[in-house]
Amino acid sequence: MTRKPHLMTRRSVVTGVLTAAGGSVFAATPETTGRPRPRPNLQKLAVAAAEPRTSRSEALVRAANLSGAVGFSVVDAKTGEVLEARFGGIALPPASTLKVVTALFAIDRLGGNHQFQTRVLATGPVVKGRLQGDLILAGGGDPTLDTDRLADLAKALREAGITEVTGRFLLWASALPRGKRIDFGQPDHVAYNPSYGGLNLNFNRVHFQWRKTKGAYDITMHARSRNFSPSTAVSRMSIVERKAPVFGYRDWGSRDQWSVADWALGKDGARWLPVRYPALYAGDVFRTLARSNGIVLKPAEVVSVLPETQELVSVSSDNLVPLVQNMLKFSTNLTAEATGLTASRTFGEVADLEASGACMGGWCMANYGVAGMRFVDHSGLGYGSNISPNGMATIMAKSRGIAPLLKTVNLTREDTAVPKGVLVRAKTGTLNFVSSLAGVVTNSKGRDLAFSILTADIERRDAVPVEQRERPAGSRTWANRSRRLQRQLIGEWIAQFS
């Protein structure tokens, strides 16, 4: 008996927009793909390349006086003509604009109506509410599974008549490759660099909250969502007296042990921390939710091979199109990695994120004729990914259906005058000393201009020590100057190519 709790979505509207858009999103793809070769020092190539040009756009770049490399490309989306480019063929880091490619890749390979399933399975019969066998929480790679939907699953299990489980409580997370971090070059404590795998929960983050009362701190580590917030033992925190670092991390083999410097807390506060054991985290929370429904489960165990089972209940994610639309809006790294890995597995097994990124790169070559890129993941978080401005703008131009999924960008600033009737939809990307923007400008006459602006001071980025990469000195000022230049360039293109 399978019950799927109702989920409110925008599936039909957005899915229809993209499906009707056509274009190369659904073109044929190769059965095998090769891994692109590593790139040389891209920033030095960009700075050394000679592109003599006198234009208003070039004048804006020079006036910005931005350190590093500035590359851009603007393309007529209807004809494919490159209207203007600067270092258009030099590959630079895309940062989170890579998520646009991931969205196209996933929709093409999986279909806009694809849903991720999380199931509860049984290895034995159910007799008068008593499961005579093991209960298995089986993940399907859903990157959006949260505590509320896990609570729906526990409730549905009780409504299916389950009152007792005689066997073990098992977790299966092998639907996707697993990793404890997206990028190993990031600090331990940043929540935007979580683990990933076939069983995820709350974007693989835990909510750490503290409050000081009567001279002592009360600490909670919760699997927080909108309606439910159970505590978890898979992630623990201790307060210590030390000057640095603010956060410390130890891997205890089956749980995350955090510590925090006491001087950094203040009276009260909260923040998200990454979870490195997502399957055990989901199992711990589900066990609590099942107990609240009168079902007592043994401590969870992870299994790599799924035995022969019958399905008891399941829950589904939203359809893929609105799911990736939210990914593009909120720039959720876990969603990008899970959808990209799932799409790559339609070609065959992939060992890790880098292999999956290479698979997506091969797909880009086959579908868009874009070469010379290198993708080490699907979110753009890894420092090894790069693509040329021409390549990214070409993908945007040939994928007309992507524009409705992008966030509308307000460019009205004192440094940019955007005429009425002009619509700018784009995806931003930010890393340390890397800022990117890719999207589509639609003018008042309906002409679409696809563009990509990639700026990067790679040497300055690479010089930041790992422990300082959450907020390195000077990065915010650099990024603000880059964004100002991006606005100015788009304003210039609107005026020049209308």
For 59-83, what is the mean pLDDT? 96
Q: Token pair 């203040």 is at which residue?
A: 266
436: nearest Cα among 454, 419, 451? 454
Q: What is the pLDDT of residues 345-369, one digit of tens each?
A: 999 999 999 999 999 999 999 999 9
Q: What is the pLDDT of residues 262-293, one digit of tens each?
A: 999 999 999 999 999 999 999 999 999 999 99
Non-local CB neighbours of 215 within 8 Å, separated by 6+ positions: none
Would the pLDDT of 39 be above 70? Answer: no
For 111-139, what is the mean pLDDT? 97
Helices (H), 65-197: 98-110, 147-159
Residues of the chain within CATH 3.50.80.20 domain(s) are: 117-177+280-315
* β 448-456/434-442 pair status: antiparallel
**Would you state the structure tokens that stand for residue 404, as one six-digit string?**
């409705």
Whether the ω angle into residue 230 lies within 30 degrees of 0, i.e. cis, is: no
Q: What is the pLDDT of residues 179-230, one digit of tens each?
A: 999 999 999 999 999 999 999 999 999 999 999 998 899 999 999 999 999 9
92: nearest Cα among 472, 478, 391, 465? 391
CATH pick for 11-112+319-496 out of 1.10.730.10, 3.40.50.2300, 3.40.710.10, 3.50.50.60: 3.40.710.10
Residues of the chain within CATH 3.40.710.10 domain(s) are: 11-112+319-496
Express as a percent the part of the chain with pLDDT over 70. 88
Helices (H), 239-388: 278-292, 320-330, 333-344, 353-368
- Kindly report which listed range (40-49, 212-221, 377-386) carries the lowest average pLDDT score: 40-49
For the chain, the average pLDDT equals: 89
Calculate the alpha carbon distances from 332 to 66, 380, 498 in Å. 28, 11, 34
CATH superfamily of 117-177+280-315: D-Ala-D-Ala carboxypeptidase C, peptidase S13 (3.50.80.20)
Task: Supply the pTM of this predicted model.
Answer: 0.89
Cβ-based burial of 209 (10 A; exposed 0-12, middle 13-18, buried ≥19): middle
Q: How far apart are CA 71 and CA 85, in angstroms?
A: 7
Would the pLDDT of 1 be above 50? Answer: no
Would the pLDDT of 126 be above 50? Answer: yes
Q: How far apart are CA 441 and CA 444, in angstroms?
A: 10
